[in-house]
């Protein structure tokens, strides 16, 4: 069994003071829109009137997936290790944006189907060389699930112990939109065709095939477990149709929340990791800041289910943490207006008469 998490919802004690401080800045009530919500959430998480995200970190978890054998991706599996090397060499979008905003990047191998060379930015926490093809058998053993969750826990602890006060997560793994869609289908009870998207660029026939593979995989797992998917525990779902990097992200989110540290949710795949984490411990949701609504078909449906308001909507569908790092300057701005913007009293400006 994987680690049990003890997550407390952020205390409401500071809410009145926070809202008063936000409302008394030199602006009309609510005029900074979503920035006010972010500032309020961060202040509540950190239990302070001056929340701080000056020491962020991006962690990208990478793994391969056996279900790629079913032809659900345009790209071959060897792209996963190639892209990991691209991250490490600074050539990927997330690498470029992290460098732009001076955010440290760490890439963690939890299941890449290759032996990767050592690199200063690379963490090796390999669970196995790829998950199994879940259309034919369980994706992983209970021991592998435990290791995947623990990889995320250990990475979150490593960062927070080093003083990181905002974690951002990304992922890399050919086939992981299929895995995410499969997990989402089981977790919220929608159809496979509603969850299956174009991923790396599938055409309509490819999407239809992906949905078929998802439904066949879930039916196989129901027969093996003797349970309807709606009755599966988090452990059963993960073992049957999970992905190592998705579960590592979930573990990192859960540990971040347990340690009362805010984290940024990237796009569709990262949101599915949060959905799984929420099944394990519902209060994890309180610590999540949603970066963007992606172009992936099911992401809006999932965001609506999570009652999440993302910061951006830029038609992105890249993954790898790209949306999370693009949202970071706005999260910084939310903290800075709360800290530095004048109040009506301090600026000698007349407030509203209403």
Tell me how far apart the alpha carbons of residues 98 and 323 are, in angstroms, rounded to a whole number: 11
Interacting residues of 294 by C-beta distance below 8 A, sequence separation 6+: 267, 268, 316, 317, 323
pLDDT at res. 136: 98
Which pair of structure tokens corresponds to residue 45? 């998480």
Tell me the percentage of the chain whose pLDDT exceeds 70.
99
- Concatenated DSSP letters for 183-209? HHHHHH---HHHH---TTT--HHHHHH
pLDDT band per the 50, 70, 90 thresholds, residue 117: very high
- Tell whether the model's pLDDT for residue 352 goes beyond 90: no
pLDDT at res. 46: 98
- Tell whether the model's pLDDT for residue 156 goes beyond 80: yes
Tell me the percentage of the chain whose pLDDT exceeds 90.
92
Asked if residue 155 lies in contact with residue 219, where contact means CB atoms within 8 angstroms, the answer is: no
Alpha carbon 146 to its chain centroid, in Å, reads: 19
Tell me how far apart the alpha carbons of residues 49 and 96 are, in angstroms, rounded to a whole number: 32
Tell me how far apart the alpha carbons of residues 16 and 38 are, in angstroms, rounded to a whole number: 15
| Strands laid side by side in the 122-124 sheet | 122-124, 105-111, 56-63, 166-172, 263-265, 288-290
Mean pLDDT of 32-44: 98
pLDDT, mean over the chain: 96
- 56-329 CATH fold: Rossmann fold (3.40.50)
Least confident of 124-133, 196-205, 247-256: 196-205
Tell me how far apart the alpha carbons of residues 308 and 34 are, in angstroms, rounded to a whole number: 12
Write the pLDDT tens digit of every residue in 50-73: 999 999 999 999 999 999 999 999
How many CB atoms are closer than 10 A to CB 143? 12
pLDDT at res. 348: 82
Asked if residue 101 lies in contact with residue 167, where contact means CB atoms within 8 angstroms, the answer is: no
Write the pLDDT tens digit of every residue in 77-108: 999 999 999 999 999 999 999 999 999 999 99
Asked if residue 304 lies in contact with residue 268, where contact means CB atoms within 8 angstroms, the answer is: no
Residues annotated as catalytic are: 320
pLDDT at res. 351: 66
Looking at residue 306, what DSSP letter applies? H
pLDDT at res. 202: 84
The domain limits of the chain are: 56-329
CA distance to 125, 130, 131, 134, per residue, from 137 (Å) = 24, 13, 10, 5
Output the pTM of the full model: 0.96
């Amino acid at each position: 069994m994987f680690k049990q998490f003890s997550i407390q919802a952020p205390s409401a004690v500071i809410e009145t003071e926070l809202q008063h401080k936000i409302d008394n800045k030199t602006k009309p009530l609510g005029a900074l829109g979503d920035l006010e919500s972010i500032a309020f959430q961060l202040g509540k998480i950190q239990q302070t009137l001056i929340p701080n995200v000056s020491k962020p970190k991006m962690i990208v978890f990478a793994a391969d997936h056996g279900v790629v054998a079913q032809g659900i991706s345009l790209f071959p599996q060897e792209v996963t290790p190639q892209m990991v090397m691209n991250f490490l060499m600074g050539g990927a979008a997330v690498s470029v944006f992290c460098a732009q905003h001076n955010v440290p990047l760490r890439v963690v191998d939890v299941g890449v189907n290759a032996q990767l060379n050592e690199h200063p930015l690379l963490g090796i926490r390999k669970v196995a060389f790829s998950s199994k093809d879940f259309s034919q058998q369980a994706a992983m053993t209970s021991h592998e699930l435990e290791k995947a969750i623990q990889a995320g826990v250990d990475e979150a602890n490593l960062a927070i112990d080093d003083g990181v006060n905002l974690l951002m997560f990304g992922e890399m793994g050919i086939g992981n939109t299929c895995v995410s869609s499969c997990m989402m289908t089981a977790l919220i009870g929608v159809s496979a065709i509603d969850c299956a998207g174009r991923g790396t660029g599938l055409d309509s026939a490819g999407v239809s095939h992906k949905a078929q593979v998802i439904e066949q995989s879930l039916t196989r797992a129901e027969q093996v477990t003797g349970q309807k998917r709606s009755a599966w525990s988090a452990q059963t779902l993960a073992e049957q149709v999970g992905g190592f990097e998705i579960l590592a992200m979930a573990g990192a989110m859960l540990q971040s929340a347990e340690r009362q540290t805010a984290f940024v949710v990237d796009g569709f795949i990262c949101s599915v990791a949060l959905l799984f984490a929420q099944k394990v411990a519902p209060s994890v949701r309180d610590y999540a800041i949603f970066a963007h609504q992606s172009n992936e078909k099911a992401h809006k449906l999932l965001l609506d289910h999570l009652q999440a308001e993302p910061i951006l909507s830029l038609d992105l569908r890249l993954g790898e943490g790209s949306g999370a790092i693009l949202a970071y300057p706005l999260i910084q701005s939310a903290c800075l207006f709360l800290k530095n913007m004048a109040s009506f009293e301090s600026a000698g400006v007349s407030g509203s008469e209403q």
